[in-house]
Amino acid sequence: MTDNARRTGPAVEAHFQLLNWLMQTVERFPKSQKFLLGDRIQSTALDVLEALIEATYTRDRRAHLIRANLGLEKLRFFFRLAFEQKHLDVRRYEHAARTIDEVGRLIGGWAKAHAAQSGAGAGNGYGQVQAR
């Protein structure tokens, strides 16, 4: 684990690395999409980072972790759209998908640990079982 991950936590650090990569990647989008889809991807990723930072520094992390997880789901769809519109090549799309999944697993583990710690019970780690 890197020094940064020790200070901020593995989910925050992994998402920070994704954000750093995607900001450079969005710069390669065509001008017409850089300010539409690219901006949406960047702002959603920044929202996820904010939610993770807030979860780091609050006692009740549940709402922040749910918000971060929802943001990751949005990012999955935005990256899929960017790929299908040919703004991303296969290699970059696969990297984004793998990294988003990794961050999602880290958030899920964090939520599960928080639920166990706070006595929220079993389920999906967010204190209740959510229907899809």
Closest CA to 112 of 11, 44, 15, 16: 11
pLDDT, average across residues 81-108: 97
Instruction: Output the six-digit token pair for 42.
Output: 């960047």
pLDDT, average across residues 39-67: 95
Is 108 part of a structural domain of the chain? yes
- Band of residue 129 on the pLDDT scale cut at 50, 70, 90: very low
pLDDT, average across residues 95-113: 96
Is 127 part of a structural domain of the chain? no
Is 17 part of a structural domain of the chain? yes
Domain count along the chain: 1
The DSSP-derived string for 53-67 is HHHHT-S--HHHHHH
Is 126 part of a structural domain of the chain? no
Is 130 part of a structural domain of the chain? no
* pLDDT single digits (tens) 71-83: 999 999 999 999 9
Task: Specify the higher pLDDT residue, 46 or 4.
Answer: 46
Whichever domain contains 114, its CATH number is: 1.20.1440.60
In sequence order, which ranges of the chain are alpha helices (DSSP H)?
3-8, 10-26, 31-34, 37-56, 62-84, 90-118
pLDDT, average across residues 86-99: 97
Residue 91 pLDDT > 60, yes or no?
A: yes
Domain assignment of residue 53, given as a range? 3-118
Is 74 part of a structural domain of the chain? yes
What DSSP state is assigned to residue 45?
H
Is 125 part of a structural domain of the chain? no
